[in-house]
Amino acid sequence: MKKLLTTLCALMPLFGIAQAQEFTPEQLEQVKNVREQALKSNLSWQLLESLTTEVGPRMPGSENDKKAVKWAQQQFKTLGFDKVWTEPATFPHWRRHHEAGSIVTPSKQPLRLTALGNSVGTPAQGITAPVVMFNTFDELIAAPKNSLEDKIAFVNYRMKRHIDGNGYGPAVRARRSGAVEAAKKGAIGYMMRSVSTGHHRFAHTGASGYQAGISKIPNTAISNPDADQLERLINGGHEVAVNMNIQTEDLGEGTSYNVIGEITGSQFPEQYVLIGGHLDSWDLGTGALDDGAGVALTMAAAKHISEIAQPKRSIRVVLFAAEELGLWGAKAYFKRHAEQLDNIVAAAESDFGADVVYAFESNVAANALPVVKAIAQQLAPLNIEYVNANNAHGGPDLIPLNQVTNAPIFALHQNGTDYFDYHHTADDTLDKVDPRKLKQNTAAYAVFAIMAANAKTKLTGKGK
Amino acid sequence: MKKLLTTLCALMPLFGIAQAQEFTPEQLEQVKNVREQALKSNLSWQLLESLTTEVGPRMPGSENDKKAVKWAQQQFKTLGFDKVWTEPATFPHWRRHHEAGSIVTPSKQPLRLTALGNSVGTPAQGITAPVVMFNTFDELIAAPKNSLEDKIAFVNYRMKRHIDGNGYGPAVRARRSGAVEAAKKGAIGYMMRSVSTGHHRFAHTGASGYQAGISKIPNTAISNPDADQLERLINGGHEVAVNMNIQTEDLGEGTSYNVIGEITGSQFPEQYVLIGGHLDSWDLGTGALDDGAGVALTMAAAKHISEIAQPKRSIRVVLFAAEELGLWGAKAYFKRHAEQLDNIVAAAESDFGADVVYAFESNVAANALPVVKAIAQQLAPLNIEYVNANNAHGGPDLIPLNQVTNAPIFALHQNGTDYFDYHHTADDTLDKVDPRKLKQNTAAYAVFAIMAANAKTKLTGKGK
């Protein structure tokens, strides 16, 4: 009998040992309960439905953005969070008024285009000019000086589809600074194939910028089918001219608010697990995938934890402001809390839609890895794989945190295969979210957050 | 040996007997060759790509419509059709200039709407009014008199998805005369959930009408996600007001042209198989599925026949004008040829997209059924099932023919499961057509047309 027990102990996986060292049986029972509760509950869906329906699009600085801030405070209070507060963030306030486009030569055809964020407008009748096509952004960069005078530059690069969205980086360069490079060559307008994996006729907006000393030219993206059409016409030997008409407004500095709700810890209340998403959205859709889902599921995850038991450390849900225009809420948050960043024992942002979480990854100091593995074991019943690389990058709103310190960052990787079909389009609406998948996401965040909050070992990052 | 032969003959299926009676072995070899040639050739795709790219949208009466008429004549000539000509058709010329919509209460949100064909416009600033929702068109009809004064009526009926598109009929009632019924109750605007099975944010346009003596009110459709949003707000107890702004123009009587290409028969040139589609399209997309595909595949099918051998009877490809606004080209065609309708030995229109043809059905006199079965046998290698009901309805442009006589009508049923995801939207573009499926369609029409043209028995309809 003794021999049998010894053998059993030898066979006990490392995970089991870590669990036993870091968590009491009662705490592990709580994890199971919170997971099951999150999988059963409709709360995250109800929050998402309410935000996207009653508020709708939430462009930073808009009336709806103000409504969203009130909505979030009210919801946190209704859900019984211990502390609810806001913190201001400023950002460059930009607004889209009107957009339209057409091919005018060789045949009159509408173009589905959208102004990129921060773009200047055109004159009232738009600008009409011949199009010069580049297959990649680098081809545009390599174009001779003055070669685009009185032309509209068109970058026709196609984003690649991938489960982790790794096609985004190579594609987004042409959005962030395409208009700058085009203007350097003398172009009077810029148009790009959307940063998109979709095959529907939606143009994808997104942040873009200008450079001091370089002419600001109107900056647009067209849908994939429209880009296909331009490509066919140009490759067919036609001279193609287009009209782009965008009316936009630069409203100077705007102010919005990070909205924060906290479930206060019983033992180390100043230490906290940071989860959240961003409350703002682009104006075209209703921001269901980007990032209503992240808002709703992290709020719900913390609520489910509070229903089971008060955690040892606090759970802080931060709903960041003005992410889309340049992470302005996140910059303000981490600047404001710069002296207390060590209080963050774990941070994870959900900002990649609402498809299933398929993998879990950490970025922590070595002594924290047993806790990570214990969390991974409790995520496994949700069909989440453990990525044993300890090199996670967090969501975009954690970038300003990463820039000052290597904090204990976690990634709950969502399946992003379809995410860029909808990202930043009019088609980012509630019906694109699968309620069952949203529950799985909610459960994953709840399991992660309760365990990071309750672990015996305080989690820390790798540091600078 | 004799006994064996007798047994074999007894076992020979009816189809084989019909084939042998109606077609020579050489003719059956031609059928096989034309089928194989159509499955190999890119011709139908090339025609579709050219029409949708170089011409684009083809709204009746537009400059592009004129271009399409020239394009079709030129293509027929280039392909070596024996006769190419046009026949005029008049129609009520209508044009869309601008459309926009928004929810204004309880929260400002854009609405993706489109003006229905023939709709009057709104004042320049649009009309803003509270919305009254009806779950079905019949609920609107049942509403009390004057109950909609100063309101916008919203019919929220959801079209059903079906392989044969049978959800269209029940749904389209609310499009054809919704504005009339709403105006009868005092409404100042009409808005309907699109006749759509899609879940993307496209509004579906389509023909609509007014009634003498009833006020003409602006007439619009919104996308399914937008209708969902209105429904959630209204069912959530909110008072909802919307703004609809459509700028349209009634240009009086317009003229366009049916374009006709014929492969002349060797033995009975005056008798002909009529195949075709409609050359016009709505203005929002490029009319790839509706009905560039029908145009391209019937042109290509006739061309492939002409490459194999001159048929006994003529093959006439009719590209009808102004179908979308009310079958005006078809009405003109069958009126003009009213005295020679007996020359039509078979008629089939392709106007249901470009998914695979999965079934074949006739509507002919009893003595023509052996030929029908022989055709079915040669369609079987294309995975096309024979529907032994002899009750086919043709495409929409054959309706005016059916109204005067029971002509020999055929249906090559396309899989329409997804057709109403794209129908009459901006998203009806070339990328929605699968080149391999288009080839199968082309082969099916080629096999059908060559056999109907060469059969020993002249096919006739059931008559009046």
In a domain, A8, yes or no: no
d(CA B401, CA B411): 14
- Overall size of chain B counted in residues: 464
Contacts of B201 in chain A (CB under 8 A): 202, 285, 425-427, 429
Closest CB to A56: pick one of B56, B109, B201: B109
Closest CB to B201: pick one of A62, A232, A429: A429
Under an 8 A CB cutoff, do A54 and B109 touch? Answer: no
pLDDT digits (tens, 9 = 90+) for B126-135: 999 999 999 9
Instruction: Say yes or no: B219 and B279 in one domain.
Output: no
Biggest CA pair distance of chain A:
89
Instruction: Say yes or no: B102 and B67 in one domain.
Output: no
Quick one: pLDDT at residue A15? 56
Under an 8 A CB cutoff, do B232 and A53 touch? Answer: yes
Q: Is A109 on the interface with B (CB under 8 A)?
A: yes
In whole numbers, what is the pLDDT of chain A averaged over residues? 95
| pLDDT of A11 over the 80 cut | no
CATH of the domain at B177: 3.50.30.30
Give how far B232 is from chain A: nearest CA, Å.
7
Instruction: Say yes or no: A430 and A283 in one domain.
Output: yes
In a domain, A463, yes or no: no
Under an 8 A CB cutoff, do B201 and A202 touch? Answer: yes
Instruction: Say yes or no: A324 and A419 in one domain.
Output: yes
Contacts of A49 in chain B (CB under 8 A): 232
Under an 8 A CB cutoff, do A286 and B53 touch? Answer: no
In whole numbers, what is the pLDDT of chain B averaged over residues? 95
Q: Is A107 on the interface with B (CB under 8 A)?
A: yes
pLDDT digits (tens, 9 = 90+) for A267-324: 999 999 999 999 999 999 999 999 999 999 999 999 999 999 999 999 999 999 999 9
Residue of A62, A70, A98, A107 for testing the chain B interface, max B β-carbons within 10 Å: A107
Instruction: Say yes or no: B67 and B119 in one domain.
Output: no
Cα A126 to Cα A5, A114, A122, A244, B99, distances in angstroms: 80, 13, 5, 5, 18
Cα A185 to Cα A137, A176, A191, B227, distances in angstroms: 13, 17, 14, 45
Give how far B445 is from chain A: nearest CA, Å.
28
pLDDT digits (tens, 9 = 90+) for B185-242: 999 999 999 999 999 999 999 999 999 999 999 999 999 999 999 999 999 999 999 9
pLDDT digits (tens, 9 = 90+) for B58-113: 999 999 999 999 999 999 999 999 999 999 999 999 999 999 999 999 999 999 99
CATH of the domain at B300: 3.40.630.10
Instruction: Say yes or no: B377 and B272 in one domain.
Output: yes
pLDDT digits (tens, 9 = 90+) for A189-207: 999 999 999 999 999 999 9
Q: Is B285 on the interface with A (CB under 8 A)?
A: yes
| End-of-domain residue from the set A220, A250, A280 | A250
| End-of-domain residue from the set A191, A218, A250 | A250
Q: Is A231 on the interface with B (CB under 8 A)?
A: no
Under an 8 A CB cutoff, do A426 and B228 touch? Answer: no
Under an 8 A CB cutoff, do A225 and B431 touch? Answer: yes
Q: Is B63 on the interface with A (CB under 8 A)?
A: yes
Task: Give the structural domain span for B67.
Answer: 14-82+264-454
Phi, psi of B272 (to 5 degrees): -150, 150
| End-of-domain residue from the set A183, A218, A250 | A250
d(CA B65, CA B44): 20
Q: Is A67 on the interface with B (CB under 8 A)?
A: yes
In a domain, B459, yes or no: no
Instruction: Say yes or no: B76 and B44 in one domain.
Output: yes
Count the neighbouring beta carbons within 10 Å of the beta carbon of residue A121: 18
pLDDT digits (tens, 9 = 90+) for B294-338: 999 999 999 999 999 999 999 999 999 999 999 999 999 999 999
In a domain, A327, yes or no: yes
Segment 29-58 of chain A within 8 Å of chain B by CB = 49, 53-57
Residue with the larger pLDDT of the pair A394 and A43: A43
Q: Are B330 and B320 in contact (CB under 8 A)?
A: yes
Closest CB to A55: pick one of B64, B107, B199: B107
d(CA B408, CA B401): 10
Q: Is A201 on the interface with B (CB under 8 A)?
A: yes
Under an 8 A CB cutoff, do A53 and B103 touch? Answer: no
Region B414-420: what's the mean pLDDT? 98
Under an 8 A CB cutoff, do A56 and B107 touch? Answer: yes
Under an 8 A CB cutoff, do A232 and B112 touch? Answer: no
Quick one: pLDDT at residue B16? 67
Quick one: pLDDT at residue B10? 44
The number of folded domains in chain A is 2
In a domain, A189, yes or no: yes
d(CA B401, CA B394): 9
Q: Is A238 on the interface with B (CB under 8 A)?
A: yes
Confidence tier at A14 by pLDDT (50, 70, 90) = low
Quick one: pLDDT at residue A82? 98
Confidence tier at A12 by pLDDT (50, 70, 90) = very low
Instruction: Say yes or no: B228 and B308 in one domain.
Output: no
Instruction: Say yes or no: B103 and B213 in one domain.
Output: yes
Which residue, A113, A133, A134, A139, is CA-closest to A194? A113
Under an 8 A CB cutoff, do A283 and B55 touch? Answer: no
Closest CB to A109: pick one of B57, B112, B225: B57
d(CA A396, CA A329): 11
Instruction: Say yes or no: A203 and A120 in one domain.
Output: yes
Count the neighbouring beta carbons within 10 Å of the beta carbon of residue B98: 15
In a domain, B461, yes or no: no
Give how far A327 is from chain B: nearest CA, Å.
24
Quick one: pLDDT at residue A19? 79
Under an 8 A CB cutoff, do A56 and B112 touch? Answer: no
Under an 8 A CB cutoff, do B53 and A236 touch? Answer: yes
Under an 8 A CB cutoff, do B57 and A201 touch? Answer: no
Instruction: Say yes or no: A77 and A148 in one domain.
Output: no
| pLDDT of B48 over the 70 cut | yes
Instruction: Say yes or no: B291 and B340 in one domain.
Output: yes
Q: Is B253 on the interface with A (CB under 8 A)?
A: no
Under an 8 A CB cutoff, do A286 and B236 touch? Answer: no
Q: Integer distance in angstroms from the first to the last C-alpha of chain A?
A: 51
Q: What is the ipTM of this complex?
A: 0.93
In a domain, A199, yes or no: yes
Closest CB to B64: pick one of A108, A286, A429: A108
In a domain, A90, yes or no: no
Under an 8 A CB cutoff, do A109 and B286 touch? Answer: yes
Q: Is B103 on the interface with A (CB under 8 A)?
A: yes
